[in-house]
Structure 1
Amino acid sequence: MPLLDRTGAKPDVWTRSEAAAIDNLSHALVDWDALPEALRQKARDQRIGVVVPNTVGIAELKLVLRQLSLVCVTFPAYSDGRGFSLAKHVRNHGFTGTLRASGPLIADQFAYALSCGFDEIELPEASAARQPVGQWLAALERISHGYQRGYGDARNILDQRRAARAALG
């Protein structure tokens, strides 16, 4: 699956592992259900990532965040926004590793995904064919400010409007 970040396409250094079989993998990416066993097997210099459904609660995930280098949140559909909320919670709980969104997102969601804390997007082949990397980067340029607070923009549109009204008296 193609992978992109705010600069464009990038290679994926992570290897998805069947179950918890992570031997000889420097960057092992396992499913949520296989994570406990993978963490038990983890070698000293090995990096572990986990693929989590967007239905996993932060209460469960925060227990293992310190042991992870990558959290990959799955999106079953572009219209299912629970992954954005989960990403925000993961960042708010101090996760400093790589945060990846995986699924059929659309280019118009790119700026929002980054502002929620995602570092990269992993797309299904069909989505990448429909919207190539150039469209994703162009969409990122089109959206310069958000309406909501706390998504990386200190001066969101809402606060700018309130400040303008207050200045008028």
Structure 2
Amino acid sequence: MTLITKTGAADDRFTRFDTLEDALATDEPVLIPLAFAPAYVEQRPGAEFGISVPGSAAIEDVAPHLETAALVAVEFPSFADGRGFSLARKIVREGFAGTLRASGPLIADQFLDALACGFTEVELPETMANRQPAQQWLSAKETMSDHYQSGYGTEPSILQKRLAARKGASV
């Protein structure tokens, strides 16, 4: 897996584990499925960990863990499945201040949208990273400056700009 931040490729401090037993056997920061979070916190209070959640997860299932998790990795099954972007916005609205990771086969053209939704990094499978290296992601981030969806980022959307122009106001 390759990890990309808004400044380029980065090292991953977290190690993925698919079983609670393996996660408990290390002192390093771990990334575990959401279902293991309560048991992990109970058995390793104060340990740094992250949770992996599907993009289809309900915010009500994720929210109870946002105060203790240092990382939330939202799993994307494909680049065409945008539910992870919506979940990221909800996680940010809940006040999550840790690292928010988009994980899966996203494409570079989605990088600016991912950042606007609150993601701080993207974890790509090697096949995708080989096809679109980190430099291509950084270039894509710089080439797109406007967005259609309201609520993305801090700038007004294209629609908001058009409506303001019709009213003669500047945004």
Q: TM-score range by the shorter chain?
A: over 0.9
State the match for 1:160 in structure 2.
Answer: 161
Structure 1 equivalent of residue 24 of structure 2 = 22
* Partners of 1:15 and 1:25 within 8 A in 2: no
The answer as to whether partners of 2:146 and 2:157 remain within 8 angstroms in 1 is yes
Where 1:66 maps in the other structure, the secondary structure is: coil
Question: Structure 1: where are the runs of 5+ without partners?
Answer: none
Rounded to whole Å, the distance in 2 between the matches of 1:120 and 1:145 is: 20
Q: Which residue of 2 aligns with 1:85?
A: 86
Who is 2:33 aligned against? 31
> Aligned residues, how many?
167
1:67 is paired with a residue of what secondary structure?
Answer: coil
Q: Corresponding residue for 1:63?
A: 64
Quote the residue 1:7 is aligned against. Answer: 7
Offset of residue 67 of structure 1: 1.0
1:80 maps to a residue whose letter is D
| C-alpha distance after superposition, 1:34-72 (max 9, x if no partner) | 22211111243x211001111210011111111111000
Q: Distance in 1 between matches of 2:2 and 2:134?
A: 9
- Say which SS state the counterpart of residue 144 (structure 1) adopts: coil
Alpha-carbon distance in 2 for matches of 1:147, 1:25: 44
Q: TM-score, normalised by structure 1?
A: 0.93
**Partner amino acid for 2:93?**
N
Contact 2:34–2:62, Cα closer than 8 Å, also in 1: no
SS in structure 1 at match of 2:154: coil
Aligned-residue CA RMSD in angstroms?
1.4
Quote the offset at 1:151 in angstroms.
Answer: 1.1
AA in 2 matched with 1:10: A
Point out where structure 2 has 5 or more consecutive residues left out of the alignment: none
Task: Give identity over the alignment, percent.
Answer: 46
Residue 41 of structure 2 aligns with an amino acid whose one-letter code is L
Q: Measure, in 1, the Cα distance between the counterparts of 2:36 and 2:44.
A: 12
